[in-house]
Structure 1
Amino acid sequence: MTTTNTQASSAPSPSRWFQLLLGMIAMMAISSPQYVWALFTGPLTEKLRVSLAEIQVTFSLLIVLQTFFSPAQGYLIDRFGPRLLLSVGAILTGLSWVLAANVTTLTGLYMTYGLFGGLGTGIIYIGVVGMMVQWFPDKRGLATGLVAAGYGFGAILTTLPISTSLKSNGLSSTLVTFGIVFGIVGILAAIFMRRPEKSIAFTAPDAEERGLMQSTRNYAPREMLRNPIFWLLFVMMTMMSTSGLMVISQMGAFAKDFGVKDALVFGLAALPLALTVDRITNGVTRPFFGWVSDRIGRENTMAIAFGLEGIAMTIWLAYAHNPLAFVLLSGVVFFGWGEIFSLFPSTLTDTFGTRDATTNYGFLYMAQGVGSVLGGPIAALLYQATLSWHVVFGVAITMDITTALLAIFVLKRMRATHLARNAQAAALATA
């Protein structure tokens, strides 16, 4: 079903910045299950007396469930509102750690940390992003970038405390303590979150001049899924996700083979230093390129950012034997990658409207799940078959450049035609 937006030209509510702050807090509260997982693999392997490969299935479950259930989660949020669903997400996230503290089997770990954690973090992630594209029609790139950065940066605040707690208090106590903290913080943020009133939503008067035309119609999910623009966006996001995750999953082996893993850069080992730099640039890029896209348009920004990643990756491969170059260029690579989490939801909502924005983005966010499944195995199989990192990186670079070209030469034209038709239909309807 397609309906016309009811947008007003009044000034936006100041309370939306409070909603943005709450969204960032909620995202920070759910970031640790993914980003500090590596701290738990050793203690869990020892406790359950199983192999590392079996333990790592938990992490795969977390990511797959977080992404593949997002359309259903988005629908429930659109149907019942953010307070209830985001509170449920926070409870599930906290419970995933509290219950995992006492598991004695792999199945128990999969059902707690993996299942509850994946569903809980997925509800909050898709819900918060869906809220921001509705509250900030004039600053969608910046708003979604800030909350996505909150998800990336949140674990920076918890990594050291969790690591210290593991050493002093043990695995079970650490999981229970931090699980309770994450649950409480997430609930407190959720109960104050609300959707904007329809009278608040608006399209910035200079959006067309900035190349930010927005749909005058709201597209239901089933209608969006029949539109080729959605599938182009899905393919593009899948390629970018796969490209970045191919690099993330293989950085350790890549650094070892090029002889820089333990080399010192500024007195620190190159690999952990590179991973730290990557986490920072991967967070900063989300609001930065989101803000840029609010100024010069989504597709133009995509072309710049995706092209930057491809070029940086090419230079990185050429100078990978140099420890300093390895660290610095890895940061540039991820500066060109992390912005997918602000550009794609903004572009999707600009194209298909705000009414079902959360559900609609849930379908697109599944591309991240596809990328997580493809990224690691494809990189490993390619290297195993060719014994060449040039082939692995060649595929990733090709995906980056292809996506950049699709953005500027295909997506931009398709969206312009689509939005012009919507505007014409709206004008005829009101004539």
Structure 2
Amino acid sequence: MEKVKNRWLIAASAVGIHISIGSVYAYSVMTLPLKELHGWQKSDITMAFSLAILFLGFSAAFLGRSVEKMGPRKSGRLAAIFYSCGIMGSGLAVKIGSLPLFLLCYGVIGGIGLGVGYITPVSTLVKWFPDRRGLATGMAIMGFGFAAMIFGPIMAKLFLVMDIWKVYFLLGAIYFCLIFGSSLYIAPPPAGWLPPGYSAAASESGRKVIKKDLAQLTVAEALRTRRFYCMWVMLFINITCGIALISVASPMAQEVVGLSPMQAAAMVGLMGLFNGGGRIGWASFSDYLGRARTYMAFFIIQVFAFLALTKTTNPLFFQCLIFIILTCYGGGFSTLPAFLGDMFGTKQLGTIHGYELTAWGLAGMVGPSIVTRVLEATGSYSATLYIFAGFLTFALAVTFFLAHDLRLKRQFYAQQAAQEAS
């Protein structure tokens, strides 16, 4: 018999992939060096980041079926090739001073690598951890949140001691080795595998029972359900509000509560810590609280936090509110795969997850745009914060509707099973 892999090493491999691609969150470190080197406009430089997030979402959706067919090992290698080529291609663009080539390499090619790499380990982890789905996906996606804390200082140091284009080639090589190496161990569990001490049926005494998924649906079947679109709206609003706040956190802290530039920079660094910590904390908590209740908690907390931000002038309280919002922002990402597995099963979870991530791609464009436009029109952050509080209230209503729909579906399937048994 083939030896069963260690599922905790599978999780560690997933973390390796996500730490590598999550370095995209350290993108702001590149902005000033590129501006000083070539005189590119800041808006043009940040467009590469927006394109990368956009292509992350849409490549995860449209390549999801291929990733499912290839399996996690081959798709991990594909992610390594695309992401490292995107980063190295960006280095070539920097060397010759071509902004269009930079946008193509970092935004499009690198973005495709991000999308493939993001969904590669998730559906596999869900299958290895049917007993603790939230913890498993939280561990992997935690890596994405913590990556900026790891690679941000490394990038900043490298830009001081090396030519900028050489830094991109070095980073591309590092990312390739990390992603490719991590993908070598990832594989789905054997058919019918269950964690020690667990049983698929309640008939075996003394063994815990794995909770059954609501249904086992293909992506085509999932797309015909209300649950899919409720989840998309919830994810879109959570990301739109969170990523918008991230985009203006430093200037907002300086202008609203009077933090110095260095204090604001320290706050931004801590935001990465709470973003990553929220990913594993909330996702693990959802194993006990339930996914729908966890999302309700996200939106209730954020509504009050965004409203409180409009009133506070205390620097410490302001930062605490920002950190709380960031935990909910990160938790929304990490709880999502487990929630999708509960609702749609694991048959085509990677593809379904990919389609849901189109919300991320659009939110990455919409959130910062709303902030800048409202700020230019009103000259105040308060109007934007009220708008986002309204969005989050709507998302909370959608979550209540989804929870009600799930209860009705469970009752329906239970009645069906009872009728078949009789």
Common fold, TM-score beyond 0.5? yes
Asked if 1:329 corresponds to 2:327, the answer is no
Q: Which runs of 5+ in 1 are unaligned?
A: 1-12, 264-268
Q: How many residues align?
A: 408
Question: What displacement does 1:216 show?
Answer: 5.2
SS of structure 2 residue aligned to 1:50: coil
Asked if 1:411 corresponds to 2:402, the answer is yes
> Which of residues 62, 67, 70 is equivalent to 1:72?
62
> Alpha carbons of 1:100 and 1:235: their partners in 2 closer, same or farther (altered >3 Å)?
same
Asked if 1:262 corresponds to 2:260, the answer is yes
For the residues of structure 2 that align with 1:43 and 1:425, how far apart are their CA atoms?
63
AA at the equivalent of 1:316: L
Alignment root-mean-square deviation, CA: 2.4
Question: Paired residue for 1:371?
Answer: 363
> Which of residues 335, 340, 349 is equivalent to 1:348?
340
> Which of residues 158, 161, 164 is equivalent to 1:165?
158
AA at the equivalent of 1:386: T
AA at the equivalent of 1:277: L
CA deviation map 1:54-73 (0-9, x unaligned): 22221111110011121222
Question: What displacement does 1:160 show?
Answer: 1.9
Q: Is the 8 A contact 1:306 1:337 kept in 2?
A: no
For the residues of structure 2 that align with 1:333 and 1:236, how far apart are their CA atoms?
15
AA at the equivalent of 2:396: A
For the residues of structure 2 that align with 1:82 and 1:428, how far apart are their CA atoms?
39
Question: Paired residue for 1:362?
Answer: 354
For the residues of structure 2 that align with 1:179 and 1:337, how far apart are their CA atoms?
28
For the residues of structure 2 that align with 1:295 and 1:47, how far apart are their CA atoms?
51
Asked if 1:25 corresponds to 2:16, the answer is yes
Q: Is the 8 A contact 1:274 1:330 kept in 2?
A: no
Question: Paired residue for 2:387?
Answer: 395
SS of structure 2 residue aligned to 1:306: helix
For the residues of structure 2 that align with 1:244 and 1:365, how far apart are their CA atoms?
15
Q: Is the 8 A contact 1:26 1:186 kept in 2?
A: yes
CA deviation map 1:368-418 (0-9, x unaligned): 1121121011122222233332221011122223323432x3111101222
For the residues of structure 2 that align with 1:142 and 1:400, how far apart are their CA atoms?
25
Question: What displacement does 1:355 show?
Answer: 0.8
> Alpha carbons of 1:386 and 1:422: their partners in 2 closer, same or farther (altered >3 Å)?
same
CA deviation map 1:307-347 (0-9, x unaligned): 1222223223321x322222222112212321001222211
> Which of residues 6, 29, 45 is equivalent to 1:15?
6
For the residues of structure 2 that align with 1:204 and 1:38, how far apart are their CA atoms?
48
Q: Is the 8 A contact 2:374 2:383 kept in 1?
A: yes
For the residues of structure 2 that align with 1:305 and 1:204, how far apart are their CA atoms?
33
For the residues of structure 2 that align with 1:309 and 1:420, how far apart are their CA atoms?
31
AA at the equivalent of 2:273: I
Question: Paired residue for 2:310?
Answer: 317
Question: Paired residue for 1:225?
Answer: 223
> Alpha carbons of 1:216 and 1:406: their partners in 2 closer, same or farther (altered >3 Å)?
closer
Flag as ranges the 4+ runs of structure 1 deviating above 6 A: 202-207
SS of structure 1 residue aligned to 2:188: coil
My pick for the range that moved more, 398-407 or 76-85, is: 398-407
Question: Paired residue for 1:215?
Answer: 213
Asked if 1:57 corresponds to 2:39, the answer is no
For the residues of structure 2 that align with 1:216 and 1:382, how far apart are their CA atoms?
42
For the residues of structure 2 that align with 1:323 and 1:206, how far apart are their CA atoms?
54
Q: Is the 8 A contact 1:78 1:356 kept in 2?
A: yes
Alignment of 1:174-213 (within 5 A): 174-200=167-193
Asked if 1:131 corresponds to 2:124, the answer is yes
CA deviation map 1:135-171 (0-9, x unaligned): 2222111111111111111232222222111101121
Question: What displacement does 1:128 show?
Answer: 1.8
> Alpha carbons of 1:42 and 1:193: their partners in 2 closer, same or farther (altered >3 Å)?
same
Question: Paired residue for 2:108?
Answer: 115
Question: What displacement does 1:185 show?
Answer: 1.1
Question: What displacement does 1:206 show?
Answer: 11
Tell me the TM-score normalized by structure 1.
Answer: 0.88
Asked if 1:272 corresponds to 2:265, the answer is yes
Q: Is the 8 A contact 1:134 1:357 kept in 2?
A: no
SS of structure 1 residue aligned to 2:192: coil
> Which of residues 239, 242, 262 is equivalent to 1:241?
239
Question: What displacement does 1:213 show?
Answer: 5.6
For the residues of structure 1 that align with 2:12 and 2:411, how far apart are their CA atoms?
35
> Alpha carbons of 1:222 and 1:280: their partners in 2 closer, same or farther (altered >3 Å)?
same
My pick for the range that moved more, 43-52 or 178-187, is: 43-52
Asked if 1:385 corresponds to 2:377, the answer is yes
Q: Is the 8 A contact 1:77 1:85 kept in 2?
A: yes
AA at the equivalent of 2:217: Y
> Alpha carbons of 1:334 and 1:216: their partners in 2 closer, same or farther (altered >3 Å)?
closer
Asked if 1:150 corresponds to 2:106, the answer is no
AA at the equivalent of 1:98: M
AA at the equivalent of 2:325: V
For the residues of structure 1 that align with 2:244 and 2:121, how far apart are their CA atoms?
27
AA at the equivalent of 2:57: T
CA deviation map 1:104-127 (0-9, x unaligned): 211211121122210111101011
Question: Paired residue for 1:40?
Answer: 30
SS of structure 2 residue aligned to 1:338: helix
For the residues of structure 2 that align with 1:46 and 1:261, how far apart are their CA atoms?
26
Question: What displacement does 1:42 show?
Answer: 2.2
AA at the equivalent of 1:18: L
> Alpha carbons of 1:426 and 1:87: their partners in 2 closer, same or farther (altered >3 Å)?
farther
AA at the equivalent of 2:350: T
Question: Paired residue for 1:266?
Answer: none
Question: Paired residue for 2:298?
Answer: 305
Question: What displacement does 1:87 show?
Answer: 0.6
Q: Which runs of 5+ in 2 are unaligned?
A: 203-209
> Which of residues 130, 133, 137 is equivalent to 1:140?
133
> Alpha carbons of 1:193 and 1:47: their partners in 2 closer, same or farther (altered >3 Å)?
same
